[in-house]
Amino acid sequence: MNKRIIYQMKGLYRDTFRVTGYEFGTGEKSVCIVGSSRGNEIQQLYCCSRLVKKMKQLEEEGRIADGHRILIIPSINPYSMNIQKRFWSTDNTDINRMFPGYDLGETTQRIADGVFREISGYQFGIQFTSFYMPGDFVPHVRLMDEGFSNPETAKLFGLPYVVIRKVRPYDTATLNYNWQVWETQAFSLYTSTTSRIDQNSAGQAVLAVMNFLSRQGMIKYSAPDGLSSKIVHDEELILIKTAKSGIFEPLVKAGQEVETGQPLANIVNPYEGDILETLYAPFSRVAFFVHNEPLTYANTAVIKLIQKY
């Protein structure tokens, strides 16, 4: 294992800002795995830490294939993580909306530029990321429909779902999009949680990466027979939106099968305790995403349903 500083920047009042990478194997740039880019992505950091531990073991046992270099970066935003703030601590900007970066720009642009120079040129890029809305997911792989990535390749992770989403204007400044512009096949891995650790879904995500590396011939690892992942386009998801604001009381969990007409959640009056609204399943599906904050606004997609696997 080669532990090295990917990027560093002198801090004015704090210790030097450092982005640390862990490199395994030698040869061509095969896979780069990036964890948290935001300060509340604890689960994503945890997944990478487990991968680093696993890769150290494989390397010691001589089970990394010759000619393949694998880089793992657990976090590219340790400053924000130290103070548990989602975005950059001083100006509230999102590093994952600053790629490919600019070395003479704002702080987060400079960080994105320094990191991207190091992680460009890999055959595959895997990012553990989080959704812009708070909630729990069914673990899945996500990729953009206008990119360099292949949905059939995404199936090699062995997760139940591969979600293909349309590119939106703000996507052009994300790591995933820019990886693909520079001809890296990029995949986003979503686990169940973000700001709290879920060991089961973390283990599932780590196993998915191990499956992928094994099936690409990069590591010597006996990958179990995986699921034949179901490919779904994001417009096929059924959004369950609120009509009222209030306390959100979920009645189902992510991954749970629901039947037509089944109650999914209540919206409760925060002052008087009355149920203002009950949300129902319009079709028999699987709860793919469930809002996990105690409050919700009106006209918000708090639950997303997906076809049964």
35: its two tokens = 């964890």
Band of residue 214 on the pLDDT scale cut at 50, 70, 90: very high
Residues 174-207: tens digit of each pLDDT: 999 999 999 999 999 999 999 999 999 999 999 9
Point out which residues pair with 296 in neighbouring strands: 246
Residues 257 and 229 both lie in one domain: no
CA distances in angstroms from 99 to 63, 79, 154, 177, listed in the order given: 34, 18, 23, 9
Residues 117 and 163 both lie in one domain: yes
Band of residue 227 on the pLDDT scale cut at 50, 70, 90: low
Q: Please provide the size of the chain in residues.
A: 309
Last residue of a domain, one of 233, 255, 273: 233
Q: Do 191 and 139 meet the contact criterion of CB atoms below 8 Å apart?
A: yes
Residues 161 and 302 both lie in one domain: no
Q: What is the mean pLDDT of residues 242-253?
A: 98
**Which CATH number do you get for residue 173?**
3.40.630.10
Residue 224 is given by DSSP the state P
Residues 225 and 248 both lie in one domain: no
Q: What is the mean pLDDT of residues 81-91?
A: 89
Last residue of a domain, one of 211, 233, 255: 233
**Which CATH number do you get for residue 264?**
2.40.50.100
Report the predicted TM-score, pTM, of the whole model to 2 decimal places.
0.94
Helix residue ranges, H only, 8-122:
42-60, 78-82, 107-119
Chain-centre distance of CA 68, in angstroms?
24
Residues 202 and 261 both lie in one domain: no
Domain count for the chain: 2
Which domain range does residue 243 map to?
237-306
Residues 99-139: tens digit of each pLDDT: 999 999 999 999 999 999 999 999 999 999 998 888 999 99
- Count of other CB atoms within 10 angstroms of residue 278: 12
Last residue of a domain, one of 209, 233, 257: 233
Residues 217 and 242 both lie in one domain: no
Q: Which pLDDT score is estimated for 158?
A: 93
Coil vs helix vs strand at 98? coil
Residues 205 and 241 both lie in one domain: no
Q: Which pLDDT score is estimated for 154?
A: 95
Q: Which pLDDT score is estimated for 96?
A: 95
Q: Which pLDDT score is estimated for 308?
A: 87
Number of helical (H) and strand (E) elements in the chain, helices listed first: 6, 18
Residues 17-72: tens digit of each pLDDT: 999 999 999 999 999 999 999 999 999 999 999 999 999 999 999 999 999 999 99
Residues 16 and 103 both lie in one domain: yes
Residues 196 and 275 both lie in one domain: no
Residues 151 and 22 both lie in one domain: yes
Residues 159 and 245 both lie in one domain: no
Residues 58 and 149 both lie in one domain: yes
Q: What is the percentage of the chain residues whose pLDDT exceeds 70?
A: 99
* Distance (Å, whole) CA 258 – CA 281: 7
* Distance (Å, whole) CA 75 – CA 18: 10
